[in-house]
Amino acid sequence: MTGPSIVICPEKEKLAGLGEDSFSYSFVGQEAGYISVFDGCGGMGARKYPKAGNKTGARVASKLAAYVTDKFCENGGFRFDGTDCGRLKQSLTENFARMRSKIETENSIKLGGDLFKAMPTTASIAAIKDLGNNKLQCQYIWAGDSRGYFLDKNGLCQVTKDDIQTDEDAFSNLRSDGRMSNVIHAEGDFRLNSRTLEISSPAMIITSTDGGFGYFGTPMDFEYVILSSLMDSDSDSQWEEKLSDLIAPATGDDFAVGIAVYGLGDFSRCREYFSERYNAVKKQYIDIVNDNTTEDELLSLWQAYKPGYYRR
């Protein structure tokens, strides 16, 4: 069994030192590694905690969720036996409750109603086991509207389903921004969703907060920035930097993206392998769009792209 040949995690805070997105990953010394991202929910978690350095509950939550997930993996948590999701939820619940008891005071009691939560955050976690023979076992665990994907020679595929109150697809949700119906938080009544797939490699396994994908005109643009930044780079560190530079001007938010590349031995081989898909996306969905492209025309392009995007 082998781990990924490349791991990158482009991320950026909208306001330095005040960001509410986090990530963690590990592929060292474990049969199964993972990548993860977390988006502290700034609206419902805007309350500041003096005992936590006056940080918002959203910032505390995303950092804590990343830490708990890393410790869960370090202690052999990802077993792929049907118990991972429940055991991770228990660990998150216990650690969030413990943190809340440490930092909450009478002046930081939660406001009423479901618009406010104590320490709320989304999560998108992908645990990955290399089965050999170009097969990966991928377990996606998530809450909220952070997403898990894979990207192979056939393009980007969204595996997770957003926890939102309306039944939007990835195109319509860019325009309506559906309200979330489930997030991790310190009050305990949340759920973790889980899907396990066998994926053929070579492939990229991807997690992203909504700041990474949610401010482009179409879902095709997100695939394009991943591939175009890859094509324009000479190393994995440069790829990470260039992808961050492409997302940052488009987003109105913090963002964190995790990408683990399997089945390709080095960076130049990765770039060469995905060049055909890059050229296809550029020609079919990007180059033909301009300032005069109508919403109906964008919808038509999405309808052509959608079957592949939801193929799993």
CATH number at residue 275: 3.60.40.10
Residue 41 lies in a domain: yes
Residue 262 lies in a domain: yes
Residue 1 lies in a domain: no
- Percent of the chain scoring above 70 in pLDDT: 96
Task: Return the pLDDT at 107.
Answer: 61
Per-residue pLDDT band for 115 (boundaries 50, 70, 90) equals: low
Distances (CA, A) of 274 to 6, 21, 44: 14, 28, 40
Mean pLDDT score, 228-238: 98
Per-residue pLDDT band for 236 (boundaries 50, 70, 90) equals: very high
pTM of the model: 0.96
**What is the residue-averaged pLDDT of the chain?**
94
Number of structural domains the chain divides into: 1
Checking if the pLDDT of 1 tops 70, the result is no
Question: Which amino acid, residue 96?
Answer: F
Per-residue pLDDT band for 135 (boundaries 50, 70, 90) equals: very high
Task: Return the pLDDT at 40.
Answer: 97
Task: Return the pLDDT at 105.
Answer: 82
Checking if the pLDDT of 159 tops 80, the result is yes
Residue 21 lies in a domain: yes
Neighbours of 303 (CB within 10 A): 10
Parent domain of 205: 6-309
